[in-house]
Structure 1
């Protein structure tokens, strides 16, 4: 009898984690490696948030909590949605999970049947299609192009819709591109959704607060209030509050959906870490001024990386509206050979040769569903980014 399930064969391990692991292994072996793969702020968690966690421990708040979140955190989440997005929810319409990834996974597990389709714009976060597959659904990839700044058009969304479509997964600002949809661009998409009342919207707003220049974040249920009752608005504290390891994600949506997601969570992990929940209460209700300070640093790094990459012949790097990634196209480099003799037939070949010959770790574009490109996370020091981009320039100059 075969030990492993057939479902496991439908999915692949996370490529971003694989790149980060490979870079760490090479570093441990003594190689000079600059890892630009991890989607994680290099800032420390703010002190007031850490203090709230310490206080929770001292007060003995270390027991089981309600399955999908303490009342205090659910109230703070309701206040956040009202304050930042103009969205009204009750605590019964809120769920808290062990990171945004669990919240997304719970929703898909609770709603998908075999044959159900989920529209996913590409480039996409690597986990979306595999979570759909694990839940027995069918990912339908709608490719956004470099020419539109990696943003899906209304025509492309319409073309991806079928009677089997159950969800659209929407992520802005985007991982991996940093592309952010303004209100008009988002309204064009919500107009399409209004023509398909059987389609639900799962919006991943994890990078909401990481927005630059004159870009103003907005979320689908805010732009089109008539979508409110078929939208799951997902967010978390990982990125804006530099709390990746604390593992707190949350969402709000129709009460029936939230109850179904709670049922899934009750038979998998049960409650998220109690101490992390109390830290998240402080994150959402405490001072927010450090976000703007961090964003100024991120913007400086974005401009540094984009300008250095755009100096390279054969590379085109759009300047993103948010998050902390760039997604340069390398269409002009395919078919060349590196100084070390590696043939660049794909973006995976490019990333492999770049790591082996220069010690710079990036994630290849095929992992995100749109090639040929690669992703850089600029959530690291200016010095490391300058050195990494200098090495990339040198590597590309050596291609023949």
Structure 2
């Protein structure tokens, strides 16, 4: 194992990771993702509570009840608005990295631009205006990244060229910042509104910038419904995740109808006493069988005993949600996105787990599902309820082993990097304390 860590490939990978870590755009992105932990955890807790107490498990209240809506509300304003919070935090950190004078104003301006292309307004029959939240969640995140880059760069260009409405020095700084942001925001708003209008007109109102982008990615995948096709689709989805695009949500519109059709067909076969049929769509679950997309629960479990304070802290709050296949705390907290050291096992374990799952179906250990279950449940519960077989339930836990073996060497390399970084930070902090003590 030590030889593997010191191999030329892993050394180059570490060097590449460190270079990415010094990029102002990517460091701002990682800082934003790690800052999301509070938002993600509150949303995850809300989601778990309604899952356990609601119709999915204990059935203490219905999905259309006031109790359900009340408990689920924090999820709506955290995870279902995830792109909004990403844009604000990302723009703030990116503007800070670029030494902008007022990063908070830059963050607000970027958010305005994001709403222009992702926050579609809807008017009901009664005249009530509302915002379509579909692409304000994780699905709009990648477009949010692009929005932040363009918006902040426009603001930086205007600042460098002194293109702003100038105010007398006696005016309070916050008012100066407000007036200084008018022209850059106007330029950005015109650009993003023009892009939104062009897409809307070109598609006859069918698509917005975000929905058009998602549809563009999903279109070639519709034909891939065979076993090899499922491998291609799932690999494509996790690769997209590495770049901040919600690959799972791109597949869901394709996979969900196929999954329901397969369950209905096998349900009819089961009722008629006929043998159940394996449909390739069953392999989709292997992409997230052990801790959510990318099978990240083993990574969280390994992190529980990590000597890195960052990894340990992230692992402690990620393990619980990971059991419910909620992987956002791990994906954003570690982080995995734009982190080449962890992206490799994140992508690699998916085809391996899919292959093992396919073989388990072919040799009869696993049985195709004949009951449609779409609720958020802990590992093994959904697999059991859809088949009523204990073998399907334990398979989720067996897959922790190969996923852990794939993650382990990359986890150790990343852990080593963070330990060294944290030790250096402690030394710098101690030197700063000593320096301050000398001046006092």
TM-score (norm 1): 0.29
Q: Which has the larger share of strand?
A: 1
TM-score normalised by structure 2 residue count = 0.27
Q: Which has the higher contact order (CA 8 A, sep 6+)?
A: 1
Larger Rg, first or second structure (1 or 2): 2
Higher helix share: 2
